[in-house]
Amino acid sequence: MGERENEKSRAAGILLPITSLPSRYGIGCLSAQAYSFVDLLARAGQRYWQILPVGPTGYGDSPYQSFSTFAGNPYLIDLEPLIEAGLLSQRECDMALGGGQESTVDYALQYHVRLPLLRRAYHAFCRTASSAQRMDFAAFCSEKADWLTDYAHFMALKDAHGGKPCCEWDRSLLGRERTAMEQSRRMLADGINFYCYLQYLFFSQWDALHQYASSRGVKIIGDLPIYVSADSADVWANPELFCLDAQLRPLAVAGCPPDGFSAKGQLWGNPLYRWEEHAATGYAWWTERLRHCFSLYDVLRIDHFRGFEAYYSIPYGAPDAREGEWKKGPGATLFRAARQRIGERAIIAEDLGYMTEGVRQLLADCAFPGMKVLQFAFDGRDDGSKNDHLPHNFPYNCVAYTGTHDNQTLGGWLRSISMQEMRALREYLCDYDTPTARLCKPLIALLMRSQAQLCIIPLQDYLSLGDEARINTPSTLGNNWCWRVRAEMLNDTLVRDVAEMTQRYGR
């Protein structure tokens, strides 16, 4: 991505959320296993690791509904360094969270147990930190103050309100009235400092992992949701940038119209932007958001890119997305403004869904690679061989996927498609005999030998796993974002298979 020395270089990578890694204490995190996974990628000839958003998760545990677009998720903080520093004990961590390698993430356990453990570590830090450690923490807080101050205050206020969304707080706090803000800062000083400390831990651990990945020749692809959560520090601190009423409730919300996948569309519920306000500032907030992302990642995938050309506006309170309408977005103007301030950066545009000539033109104007998804290639809704998602139609300037985090696994998809789709797939492969359960590898090979500059394969597809390993089913709650790979699956056989295919097709 963005390599100037060889304009036609082709590469490969793997998609795996950090939370899906094996590790102790119930969730994948910035632990030794993350470093081991980087090593696996390097040994397998993979130059990219694509992850999901790493912000603190809120309602539904979705990384796309975060309390902050700038902050890191405290669940991803590795506890082992805190044990080594004497801030926690091995025994209390094992008793609270268990020391096993669970196959799913229990988010309720993380909320009710891991956060209190981290608070215990914070109080131990306050008691025992050296002057050098205190100075380092203070320097971090000063460096990140432009967003950290509001975020930590917001989270402390949420705790003080029993977790209630900010739209249910007192008007004086919603309006950020000076007296109310000063009083709450005094009363909640310890809680504010605690949330600053969590970010200090997260970014220290993140920076170390990112540097290690760079040293092993692995670039990290981050993920930026186009929208922010209604219940977030971003909305609370910058209400003028969003379509809100005086109580910080949305006037209209985001989503997608009905299509072949959903008869009622998708109702996401995120507040929409007042794009005229962003334009008046030269898109300053967006520029800082992008700048921050590129301090974390080497490449950035921007979710729902078509929303910059035109966005779907649904009246607040509507039962589903059928009542929405399309409205004009900022287009390439936003990205030109950002480019002037932060320079040329490597961006992948998630251009899936309802496509128009306007969206295609925006993609061309920005020159960002779009996404091609093999699972969309055989649904019969396009004219046979002209389907954009068929590998022979891929341009060089695209990123090819078997599926995304929102799709079924390749194994699950193969077991669920219609006879017509299976016939089309087998005719395209010229393969009528391979058992369905063994088609994952030929389909991955199909993408790998395309001319797409980058090929990203979800780890589950290399492992030929079924829908028990699916990451997310859109518009559902309860079973998403939970899957974790077992440590024994990350073995030499996997490394050899991935490396051989990557080398065979010149990636």
Partners of 347 in the β-ladder: 300
DSSP assignment letter at 221: E
* Residue 240 designated active-site: no
Using CA atoms, how far apart are residues 334 and 349, in angstroms rounded to an integer? 14
Location of structure tokens 């985001």: 254
Contact 223, 303 (CB under 8 A): yes
- Sheet (strand 310-315) strand order: 266-271, 252-256, 310-315, 325-328
In this structure, what are the phi and psi dihedrals at residue 483, rounded to the nearest 5 degrees?
-65, 140
- The full set of domains in the chain, from first to last, is 11-504 (3.20.20.80)
The residue among 350, 229, 351, 341 whose CA lies nearest residue 286 is 341
Partners of 254 in the β-ladder: 313
Contact 151, 67 (CB under 8 A): yes
* Residue 223 designated active-site: no
Query: What is the chain's pLDDT, residue by residue, as a tens digit (507 residues)?
Result: 554 434 679 999 999 999 999 998 999 999 999 999 999 999 999 999 999 999 999 878 999 999 999 999 999 999 999 999 999 999 999 988 875 667 899 898 899 999 999 999 999 999 999 999 999 999 999 999 999 999 999 999 999 999 999 999 999 999 999 999 999 999 999 999 999 999 999 999 999 999 999 999 999 999 999 999 999 999 999 999 999 998 999 999 999 998 766 788 889 999 999 999 999 999 999 999 999 999 999 999 999 999 999 999 999 999 999 999 999 999 999 999 999 999 999 999 999 987 889 999 999 999 999 999 999 999 776 666 789 999 999 999 999 999 999 999 999 999 999 999 999 999 999 999 999 999 999 999 999 999 999 999 999 999 999 999 999 998 788 889 999 999 999 999 999 999 999 999 999
- Give whole-number Cα distances, 201 to 170, 190, 400, 411, in Å: 31, 17, 35, 38
Nearest 5°: the CA angle 490, 63, 74 is 80
Contact 434, 377 (CB under 8 A): no
**Which one of the listed residues 231, 234, 303, 351 is annotated catalytic?**
303
Using CA atoms, how far apart are residues 301 and 368, in angstroms rounded to an integer? 10
Tell me the pTM.
Answer: 0.96
3-class state of residue 242 by DSSP = strand
3-class state of residue 400 by DSSP = strand
**Which one of the listed residues 61, 150, 298, 350 is annotated catalytic?**
350
Partners of 244 in the β-ladder: 250
Using CA atoms, how far apart are residues 433 and 420, in angstroms rounded to an integer? 16
Using CA atoms, how far apart are residues 2 and 364, in angstroms rounded to an integer? 16
Using CA atoms, how far apart are residues 66 and 284, in angstroms rounded to an integer? 21
